[in-house]
Structure formats: C-alpha cells, structure tokens
A and B are shown apart, each in its own frame.
Chain A
Amino acid sequence: MSFIEQTREFWRRDKTWFSSGQTRPYVDVSHQVILYIEGLSVSFDGFKALNELNLYINDGELRCLIGANGAGKTTLMDVITGKTPCDQGSVYFGQDINLLEHSEPKIAQLGIGRKFQKPTVFAAHTVFENLELSLNTHKGIWFTLVAKLSTAESDRIDEVLRTIGLEQQRNMLAGALSHGQKQWLEIGMLLAAEPRILLIDEPVAGMTAQETERTAELLTSLAGKHTVVVVEHDMEFVRSIARTVTVLHQGAVLAEGSMDSIQNNPDVIEVYLGEEP
C-alpha cells in the first residue's frame, strides 16, 4: 500500500519537474497584429471557397466575421486551425510562426482554440472531465497515463465552471446537457486551454434570448486578455458585441469597419444586409 502511495507521490512531484503549464512559444506581436492572413485561396473541386483573402487580426481585439451561407467563414477557420490545406497564401501567428506548417494538435498547443459550428463536446464524459481534457498541459501519451489533477488545475476548472455557469452540472454527462449548455461547455473547454486566440463559430445558434445575452457578456469580457474571432449570423448579437466587423463574400473580404459603417456600406447592403428590413 505504502509502495503505491510512494509511486503516486513520485509521479506527483514529477509533474512539477515539467512546468505545470505547457511551454508555449513566444508569439511576437510587436506590430499589434496577432494573425496575418494573406492571399489565401482554397478550392474544392474547382469551387473557390476562399479567394485571395486578406485579413489581419489585432492582438486582444474582438472581431466579428459575418457573411451569407457559404461565404467561406468556416473554411477560413479550418485553414487557420490546420484542418484544411490551402492552395495559396500564408497564415502567420504573430510575426514568425507559420501556421501552415503545423498539424491541428500542434496549432492547438500553440494557443489557438476553436469552437465548432455544431457544438461538439464529449457526450460520454462528465462536464468536469470535458474541461479536464482541455487544460493547457502536456498532451503526450506517457504523461496522460499517469497524470493526476493538481490542485491548481482543479481550481482552474472550477473557475471555468463558474464562468460558464455550469457548476451545478459539474458531474453530469455532457451528453445530457441542453443545446445551449453544450455551447457554453465548448466555450469553457476553450477557456480551460488558455488560448491566445479563440475562434468561435456560431456560438449562439439554438440559444434562448437570455442565453444569447449571457454569451455576449462572456465574449466581450474575454476580449483584451484573449483575441476573439466570432462568426455569427445573428445580427442582433453581432451588434451587441461588435467593435470591428468583417464581411466575407464569396471567399473574400467585402468590407471591414464598425457596425455602423458596415450597415451603410452599399456593397454590403446589396449582397447581405439587403435582405434585412
């Protein structure tokens, strides 16, 4: 028995030999820009989902991406996170990290978190475990075989649970959560990972008005400490959080600026907002 305890103790100490958080590379944001996307093109069987797209995201800003269905918003996130290879162009994280060279797990480890359009949480795990797996720590096999949750980590999870308002559901299976709660849990999973950039695809789809309001509060509170890029169709929501809005159309940037300037932009009115009263 004491042998087992000793081994446990050994491994606990072992954890502090590595630093408790994963060592992330230094991201050079000396020019204020954290994400450089230049001349990006992606085509699927000849169809250009992204067409020579240029986009610069500043460090700590909250940027909204809007655009009609099929404008290429999700595809853009896929390229940034390494899921979809691109035909042309460049994507830089800070001054000198070329994201196109890295795989999805590596990009996640670099500090770019992503929420999918369709909420994806691990249904067979509890809310707590979902967050545990998302923590910013070592992700290697031998580490996870013996990993024990440190007090700091479990405090961090509790903090995230409070932030996303799921303390009551802590030990519930994520599969049993409501749709809106799943959306929040997924945002919580991003927060647990302490990323530099959060890419959030349609966070309020399927949420009630109250839930939407709380999500807006949450996202605005995240900006500054993190860089947040939000894709959303709900114009009400975008208006409530937006500082800078970028409009995508047919795989390229159509307009960029404050919500008011966007709404008065004749091109935008024609292709996108024109449908609104």
Chain B
Amino acid sequence: MSTLKSLFIASLAAGRLTGNGIQYVTIILLVTVFICSACNLLIPESSAFHVSTYTITLLGKYLCFALLALSVDVIWGYCGVLSLGHGTFFALGGYGIGMYLMRQIGDRGVYGNPDLPDFMVFLNWDTLPWYWYGMDQFWIAIVVAVAVPGLLAFVFGWLAFRSRVTGVYFSIMTQALTYALMLAFFRNEMGFGGNNGLTDFKELLGFDIQSNATRVALFLSTALLLIAALYLSRYIMKSRFGRIIVSIRDGESRTRFLGYMTNHYKVWLFVYSAALAAIAGILYVPQVGIINPGEFSPINSIEVVVWVAVGGRGTLYGAVIGALLVNYAKTKFTALMPDGWLFALGALFVGVTVFLPDGIAGYLENSARALQAKADLDNTSEDSLSKDGTSKDNNPKDKPTEEVTP
C-alpha cells in the first residue's frame, strides 16, 4: 500500500521535473543536428561519413512530428484534454505553406499558366479563388497558415469548453472534425487540389527546394523552432498559468470555485497547441514536398497520441523522445512489413500502457529518483535520519518524500 502511494506521488512529481530533461534533449538535438548538417554539406558523397540528403530530410520529418507531439502533450499531458484531431491543425498549416509554394511555381507548371496552379487550369478555372490571394507572399502565407488553424481551434474550443464537453466526447468531436475536413479537402471544388493535394514545388523564398543547402536549412530551422517551442512551453507551464492548467486537469470544478474562468484557460491553451501543430505542418510540407487530404486522416491524429504516450506525457521532452523513437521504428518496420505497422502500433500502445504507464520519460525520472534515494540512503547513517521524518533533500519540492505524520 505504501509503495503504491509513493509510486503515485512519484508519478505526480514526474510532471514537475521537466527542467533537466529538456536541457538534455536540447543538447542532444543540437549536437546531432549540427553534425548531420556538417556531414551532409562538408563531407564528399564518396566518404563513409557523408550523411545523405535523404537522411537529412527523413530526420527533418521526424523533428516536425516531434513538434506535433509536443503540441499534443501541452493540451493532453498538462490539461488532460485528449485531442484526437491535432492532425487537422498540422494539415491546415501544411496547406497554408503549400499554397505559397504552389504560387512560387509560377509559369514553370505543366500548363505554363503564370497565375493559376496546374490543378486549377485542369479544372478549367480562369481566376484564382479569393482565398488564394496574397498567398504568394511568404509572410502573409505564414501568418495565414498559423492564424487559420488557430482560429479554428478557438471557435471549436470555445464551443466545446463553454458547453463543458469533456473526456471522451471531446475526443470524438475532434475525430469528427478532422474526418470532416478530410472529406472536404478531397473535393476538387474546395480549390486545394482535391485528391492529389499540392505538390511539385520548386522554390522556397527563391531557393531551390530540392537543393542540399535548402534541405539542410529547413532541417536546422525545424530543430531550432522545436527547441524554441520546448522552452516557450516550459515557460508557460512553469508560470502561474501553467499551474492553473494542471489544476484544471486535476479538479476543474475546484479551480472554478477559486475564481478562474477555466474554459478561457482551456480555449487559449488549445489555441496555443493548435498553433504549434500548424508550425509543425508548415515545416513539414517543404521537406516532404507534398500535402494532400490524407494528412487529415483520423488515424494520423491517433498516432500522435501514441507517440506522446510512449514518450511520457506531461513532461514536454517526453513527447519529443516518443515521436522520434516511434517514427524511427515505423520507418524500419514498414521497410520489413509494409502492412503490419498499424498492428505494431496498437501493440506498442497496449504495451506502454501496461508496462510503462508514465512513458519513457516517466520511467527515466522514476529510476533516476530511485537511484538518488538509494544513494541518499547509503550516505545517511541511522542516527542522521531526520527527526521530523522528512528526508534530507534540500529541494523537497522536486523530490517529494512520504511524510510520516503523527
């Protein structure tokens, strides 16, 4: 019983120890990313140390997924709101940058039309739809690509949280949202290239999108933005705002009775999370070279949740680790057994839920804490066991101990 209780408290504490994990992950990321980039640009292809552009792109893709996972962790891990529709915001961000990239093709398309993307010419349209205006300007496109998913999250969150939709009902609604958008984007009349989506991109800000240097630049930008998002999220979660978010997760009604408009908090956190997902989409599309309605598919959003669960929710860096590992496994696995991935993913989810309920990050932190406690115990002789029953930790906040209360 007491071990159960201390385990429980340790797992609660896991959510608090985000500081060091983020630093380690940041250092590892930076070192890996810079080494890979240098090995791609500076070392000739003939050398064994050369890192291919294919690998760079693949890693860049993983980092985008890591950012997407982070966005889900922010809302699920800290606020307990399980969104099964974050693929929506990711895909919308991707479509935003895709529209910009389409306009950059100019008259180099198959039909050579300087204004209309090929698929519009093919549909016999003769003018650009209004919502494509301005998307040939990079910054406008970026702002739109973040603002539209943000706005959608605001409206959706506002409606859902105001009516106090929670738990599984909310999750189902988010699945419905992403499914509905997928069907809509499949339609040619929507003006987003229908089934085929947007592809055949040529240039980004005037740079050839296929060139090594552009790929490496995108890869580096993704890594830096991911790190920035990690630190920004950590700031938010460590602020009083973040503590209120956790309070909402653990007792929304109580939080309301303290005077906090909990639905406002949830809406804004949801918008922040959607914006992160959109940025992930914006970084993803130029690297993979295509965005199509498949990105909205409900299964994608569910996969993200598995990444977060594997990595360990409520830790921020756990989501990053989870996304990187699961996607690496996916790449390896699908090469061997192309059809088996979904089964493997399901098995992984069940396995993690049963054996690693706190995910990898939780496991690491718990074992680190256990080691620390063991070391403390070895160092302390019986007489110095503190009189009031608390351990000798100088920072009891991060390492809670069971208090022996009189």
Contacts and interface: CB of A to CB of B under 8 A. Distances in A.
A114 B257 contact: yes
A132 B258 CA distance: 11
Contact of B243 (A129, A168, A193): A129
A114 B258 CA distance: 8
Interface string B244-265: 1011011101111111111011
A236 B256 CA distance: 33
B259 A172 contact: no
A220 interface: no
A133 B396 contact: no
Contacts of A189: 258
A83 interface: yes
Interface string A135-156: 0000111001111000000000
Contact of A123 (B12, B240, B259, B405): B12
A171 interface: yes
Given A108-B259, A171-B396, A193-B259, A122 B246 contact: yes
A120 B239 contact: no
B294 to A, nearest CB: 36
Contacts of A173: 9, 12-13, 400
A120 B257 CA distance: 11
Contacts of A141: 241, 264-265, 268
B258 A133 contact: yes
Interface residues on B, range: 35 or more
Given A105-B262, A125-B247, A126-B397, A144 B241 contact: yes
Contact of A108 (B243, B244, B256): B256
13 contacts: A83-B253, A108-B257, A108-B258, A113-B257, A123-B12, A124-B250, A132-B240, A145-B236, A145-B240, A173-B9, A173-B13, A176-B9, A181-B405
Contacts of A177: 403, 405
Given A105-B256, A123-B12, 19 more contacts: A83-B253, A104-B257, A105-B257, A105-B262, A108-B259, A122-B246, A122-B251, A125-B247, A132-B240, A133-B247, A133-B255, A140-B264, A145-B236, A146-B239, A175-B12, A176-B9, A176-B402, A177-B405, A193-B258
Contacts of B261: 103, 105, 139
Interface in B242-301: 243-244, 246-247, 249-251, 253-262, 264-265, 268
- Interface size of A as a range: 35 or more
Interface of A: 81, 83, 103-106, 108-109, 113-114, 116, 120-126, 129, 132-134, 139-141, 144-147, 168-169, 171-173, 175-178, 181, 189, 193
Q: Which of B246, B260, B262 has the most CB of A within 10 A?
A: B260
Contacts of B258: 105, 108, 133-134, 139, 189, 193
A172 B250 contact: no
Contacts of A134: 258
Interface string B1-44: 00000001100110110000000000000000000000000000
B388 interface: yes
Contacts of A122: 246-247, 250-251, 254
Contacts of A168: 388, 390
A123 B250 contact: yes
A183 to B, nearest CB: 13
B397 A171 contact: yes
Contacts of B402: 176
B243 A145 contact: no
A133 B257 contact: no
B405 A120 contact: no
A135 B5 CA distance: 29
Contacts of A125: 243, 246-247
A54 B244 CA distance: 36
Contacts of A121: 254
A145 B16 CA distance: 17
B161 to A, nearest CB: 13
A144 B244 contact: yes
B297 to A, nearest CB: 33
B260 A147 contact: no
A120 B400 contact: no
Contacts of A103: 256, 261
Most buried by B among A113, A121, A171: A171
Nearest to B78: A124
Contact of B8 (A109, A114, A175, A178): A175
Nearest to A119: B254
A176 B400 contact: yes
A134 B258 CA distance: 6
Closest 5 CB pairs of A and B: A108-B259, A144-B241, A144-B240, A104-B256, A109-B259
A147 B239 contact: yes
Nearest to B254: A120
Contacts of B15: 124
A261 B380 CA distance: 61
A141 to B, nearest CB: 6
